[in-house]
A and B are shown apart, each in its own frame.
Chain A
Amino acid sequence: MSEGLGRLAATLAVAEDRLAPLQSYDDARLRRLDELIQQALSAEDEAFADGLEAALRLVPRPLRATARKLLSPGGAA
């Protein structure tokens, strides 16, 4: 398996053999595909980061502390 395929597999968190149909592509193409997927993942990260902060501001004040605790990492426990 190529370096590009390994990088793509790491981005997708899958075993490299799941990407076997892509192994004929050169590193430049695999790098471009990886960039596009990374961009999509970053957009997802930004949407959640922005959305969570904005959401907390709309939660009624008496519930806000509880909501913040609930939404913080490990807060559901």
Chain B
Amino acid sequence: MSETATRVEIGKLAHDLATTPNELEFLADRSPDELADLRGLVSQAIVGRHAAQAKLLAGLSGRLPPSITAKIASHALGPRVSARVACALKPEDAARLATHLEPEFLARLSTWLAPDRVASLIAALPEDLVIDVGRRLIAEGEFVTVGRLVAVVPVDASVQVVAEASGGDLLQAALYAEDRRALAALVDRLPDDRRAALLQAADDAGVRAELDAVLP
């Protein structure tokens, strides 16, 4: 799993740096754990950069009606800053705001969420919204984010998210999944045809052994 795991970690770091894995190719001789540690430091530096301002914006949003806050988020702040603000909000307030945002914007916002804050936020969202956002992320090829969501989305919702995903998309989601137990629970619940498509994609990509290691 090591080489594939290293590639996956490079992909996650590239995602957080908004660059391509090719730019980070020289890191391929590092272990997955070393790369995960580096990614944590990078994420901390980026997210912490304007944490105080994000907190102030979160405080401001509490003084405005959710409809206006949602308009400010989508028309002014954009997905990146909105994600930082969402992480500074109480999860229930973030969830209330999320219901006023377009799912498309919410999907783009979710790609900027700090990994350690995804769980509390997603857990507070209505399930149908989580499914909608998850499907959009798969359609956009945002597998780093999908991999984070698999760890925190209830398995019933995850099954619906991937219900129409291709074998290749399922494989990417599986490789980027940050919680093996959650991934195993999801694969266990996949319809037979989706499971077969996943295994075929793993065979085609030459990573069947890596996938088998995490399957139930």
Please, which residue of chain A has its CB at the minimum distance from the CB of B45? A12
Alpha-carbon distance between A65 and B81 when the two chains are bound, in angstroms:
21
Q: Is the interface of A mostly helix, strand, loop or mixed?
A: helix
Min Cβ gap A60→B in Å is 7
Chain A residues positioned under 8 Å from B84 (CB to CB): 48
Min Cβ gap B85→A in Å is 9
Alpha-carbon distance between A54 and B30 when the two chains are bound, in angstroms:
42
Given contacts A14-B41, A21-B38, A71-B60, contact A58 B49 (CB under 8 A): no
Instruction: Flag whether A47 is at the interface (Cβ < 8 A).
Output: yes
Given contacts A36-B23, A39-B17, A52-B53, contact A47 B80 (CB under 8 A): yes
Which of A18, A21, A40, A59 lies in contact with B18, CB distance below 8 A?
A: A40
Given contacts A54-B77, A58-B71, A59-B72, contact A36 B49 (CB under 8 A): no
Alpha-carbon distance between A37 and B34 when the two chains are bound, in angstroms:
17
Chain B residues positioned under 8 Å from A59 (CB to CB): 60, 64, 68, 72
Given contacts A22-B38, A36-B23, contact A44 B56 (CB under 8 A): no
Cβ A54 vs Cβ B18 within 8 A: no
Cβ B53 vs Cβ A37 within 8 A: no
Chain B residues positioned under 8 Å from A39 (CB to CB): 17-19
List the 4 shortest-distance A-B pairs measured between CB atoms, nearest first: A54-B76, A51-B81, A21-B34, A51-B77
Supplied contacts A33-B27, A67-B60, 20 more A-B pairs, CB within 8 Å: A12-B42, A12-B45, A13-B45, A14-B45, A21-B34, A22-B30, A32-B23, A36-B17, A37-B42, A39-B17, A40-B46, A44-B49, A47-B81, A54-B76, A55-B76, A57-B76, A60-B64, A70-B60, A76-B55, A76-B59
**Which A positions have Cβ atoms within 8 angstroms of B?**
11-14, 18-19, 21-22, 25, 29, 32-33, 36-37, 39-41, 43-45, 47-48, 50-52, 54-55, 57-60, 63, 66-67, 70-71, 75-76
